[in-house]
Amino acid sequence: MATRVVSPERTAGEWLRRCPLAGTLHHPPRVRIALLALTTLSLPIHSASAGSADGGRFQTGRRGHVQVTLADGDVLLVGGAEVDGDSNAVDRYHPATNTWTPAARVGSFSAIGFTRLASGKVVFSGSFDKFMLQYDPVANTWVNLGNGFDDHAFASMHEVAAGKVLVIGGLRGGGFTDSRVDYYDTVAKQAGFANFLNNTRAGQISAKLPDGTVMVAGGFEDAFPSDILHKTTELYDPAPGQFGQWNLVGDMSVARVNAQAVTLKNGKIMAIGGETTDGRTTEIFDPATKTWKVAAPLHHPRRNFTATVIADGRVVVIGGRDEQHLAFADVEVYDPVADAWSPSVPLPAPRTLHAASALASGEVLVTGGNDGLHLAFDDALKYTPAAFDTDQDKDGVDDLYDNCPGLANANQVDTDSDDQGDACDDNDDNDQFPDATDKCPLVVDDGTDSDGDGIGDACDGDLDGDGVADTTDNCKLVANADQSDGDGDGLGDACDDDDDGDGVLDGSDNCPAAANGDQADKDKDGIGDACDPVDNTPNPDPDPDPGNPGNPDDGGNDGGGCNSGHGQAGALVLVALGVILRRRRVMLQG
């Protein structure tokens, strides 16, 4: 799995508008272009790994520098940022001997634009200054061409006629975007104007097309309250009038800032990644139709990376950082015939804000940059694309994003959101109990298990263990398999304190199973009339006037002082006694 590291990246505006390398303070940050100074100054030594070989060391560590392949195959490094400011070191790499030698120095500068002329000389425009410099690789000398009309940091530059160069867009002093295009004659050392772009741009991509016209696309425009991101494309036609003309053609599919653009072997232009809605996207511009077509996406979103076309026509994308500003070592290779990206062996360590160029050997020379933990590298690697398995557990999830890279878990479930998948996490819910002893391994709980079934209450679907699921149990915490519910209120009798639903709690209800809100109990036996099985109407007196012996209704009982009911009861008692006495005599005689 590739290693990623976090770095305190600054935004483009912060690096350009605050411009610590120039010591000035400008406007707030808006769009990321480059990385500001980091905290540690130590430099790593990168050992070669599969796919990469040692490319030697140059004079000083640098990032955000320019790397130019010269006509003789040598590679020139110019400018960039080092430990204590802009670099004035110039280094030259010799592929035949795999060695570096210092070249003639020039003033310190960064954020430079450049182009190699047909003559073999290289022209540079410098940072927030107006100067134009030309390097002669044969003589190993620099010539000051004088000033352009304006400063163009991060400008695009292209030779459109012999010795005549367009300097396009970028940022002006103060960190503002510009639509101005300078037209510079390197032979006469004179600056002139070309026509303005239709859209103000910085952070754009550009390329010289096979017919000699120049294409620019994307970038951002300084605006209030927020920057405008462009997906428009413009082509420069040098013919109309004195200053030529920029014509809008087909838009890209999405707006892009700080993407990479490469010219494919078929002359089409490929735009790759950058700061956009999805940093994985790529698309290809066809000069014949002047339109873009979406191409296969990268596996990983990228910015501050390099893209290099190698001898066989494939495109090698190396390192960079993702949308969370994490630097990584991943490498991907694009096959334009198959329109497909495939992973390649990663670099030995994460690298971003580096530079890269193709060597005649088929290798890619990768120089400088940083990994988010170091200020700037002073070493180079020679990289050769090689097949690489980025899904070790074969679960269909790239190792870079797999939360269990060594254990297949295609669903990537991560219950506790700790970036470690449940399949390889020994505490899936991240509570106080490891999974081996956790009664609820996927639910945070306190260990309570009311029914003692080994399943914690927090995840037990039958808390009272009565065989009825809690989702339908009318007494979730009291076992009642029969689910009796006398009053039909949805609460089982076993846990209902008013079983008959008459508003009288069972503890004081004289008929707990029969609704009787009035609690009537005529015979005062403690059993409500609604549920009393015995006749609870008081016995009527057949003698309405027991104190009057002369009352014919007395039944002759007034004299005895007993009503007929009491006489019947006495008779029954006498009969019972007689039976008992007869049995005793029989027993004695026997």
337 in any annotated domain? yes
292 in any annotated domain? yes
Question: In angstroms, rounded to a whole number, what is the distance separating the alpha carbons of residues 142 and 107?
Answer: 10
325 in any annotated domain? yes
pLDDT of residue 506: 84
54 in any annotated domain? yes
pLDDT of residue 50: 56
pLDDT of residue 191: 84
459 in any annotated domain? no
Cα–Cα distances in angstroms (integers) from residue 140 to residues 178, 400, 497, in the given order? 33, 44, 100
Bridge-based pairing of strands 245-249 and 260-263 is: unpaired
- Of 168, 172, 104, 96, give the one whose Cα is nearest residue 133: 104
Instruction: Read off the pLDDT of residues 127-161 as tens digits, 9 standing for 90 and up.
Output: 656 678 899 999 999 998 877 666 667 789 999 99
> How many separate domains does the chain show?
1
pLDDT of residue 472: 87
CATH number at residue 39: 2.120.10.80
pLDDT of residue 206: 95
pLDDT of residue 110: 63
pLDDT of residue 282: 98
Question: In angstroms, rounded to a whole number, what is the distance separating the alpha carbons of residues 210 and 416?
Answer: 55
518 in any annotated domain? no
Question: In angstroms, rounded to a whole number, what is the distance separating the alpha carbons of residues 368 and 345?
Answer: 19
Q: Is the dihedral of CA 323, 329, 334, 338 positive or negative?
A: negative
Using the structure block, give the residue that is written with the tokens 């182009």. 115
547 in any annotated domain? no
Q: Which domain holds residue 67?
A: 4-383
What is 552-590 written as a DSSP string?
Answer: GGGTT-TTTT--HHHHHHHHHHHHHHHHHHHHHHHHHH-
50 in any annotated domain? yes
The low-confidence residues of the chain, meaning pLDDT below 70, are 1-50, 83-84, 108-111, 126-130, 148-152, 173-174, 240-241, 374, 387-389, 400, 535-590
- Of 570, 546, 566, give the one whose Cα is nearest residue 558: 546
